[in-house]
Amino acid sequence: MDLSPGSAFPDLTLPDHASNERRLSDLVAGDPAVMHCYRGWWCPKEQAFFRRLVALQDALEVSYVRVVSLSVDPPPVAAAFRAGLGARWTFLCDPDRTALELLRLRETTDTVYNPYVPAVFTLFPDRTIHAAYDGYWFVGRPTAGELLGDLRAIQRAIRPDWPAPTP
C-alpha cells in the first residue's frame, strides 16, 4: 500500500465511535482533512498528540477542515476516550484490524495490542495525500504549524475563491 504524497488514501468503511458505519469519502467530502492513525488510549505519546489536536480544533472548526482519528480501539473505548479529550471530530474503529492490514500500518514492535503505528496524513478532498508523517518517534508527528501549513496549501489549491473577492 502506497501512502506517500500524491497517492490516494483508501476509501475505508469502518464503524465510528458511535458504531455507525462510515465511509471515509463521506467524512472527508469536499474539504481538506487530517487523517490520524493512533496506537490507542493507553499510549502517553498519543495522549500528548491528541492534546495538540484538541488545542487546534477551535481553529479547524472555522476552517472547513475535517479530522478523522483511527485506531484498533472498539467504539465504546473510542467514544470514552473522545469524550474525555473533548474532541469534536469522528473517531473510526478497526478492532478487527482489517483496515490496519490493508494499510500495512501495524506496529510490529507491539505484539500485545497490535496497534496502528502512529501516522498522520493531510488529505485533499479526493483523499489524495498531501503530506505523510511517521509518528513512531514523537517528534516525527506534525506540529500545529505544519498542519496549518499543509491545510493552507490544500485550500489554496482547491478553493477557486482563495483570493478574496474584492472590487
Q: Is residue 155 a contact residue for another protein (CB under 8 A)?
A: no
Residues 44 and 26: their CA atoms lie apart, in Å, by: 31
Q: Is 27 in the site for another protein (CB under 8 A)?
A: yes
End-to-end CA gap in the chain: 48
Which residue of 1, 8, 29, 80 would you call a contact of another protein, by CB under 8 A? 29
Among 61, 101, 126, 134, binds another protein (CB under 8 A): 61
136 binds another protein (CB under 8 A): no
Backbone angles phi, psi at 151, to 5 degrees: -70, -35
| Residues 133 and 141 sit within 8 Å (Cβ to Cβ) | yes
| 63 scored as a contact of another protein (CB under 8 A) | yes
Toward another protein, which CB reaches closer, 28 or 105?
Answer: 28
Contact between 118 and 39 under an 8 Å Cβ cutoff? The reply is yes
Give Cα 60 to chain centroid, integer Å.
Answer: 13
Site for another protein in 68-127 (CB under 8 A): 68, 79, 83, 86-90
Residues that bind another protein (CB under 8 A): 18, 20, 22, 26-31, 33, 57, 60-68, 79, 83, 86-90
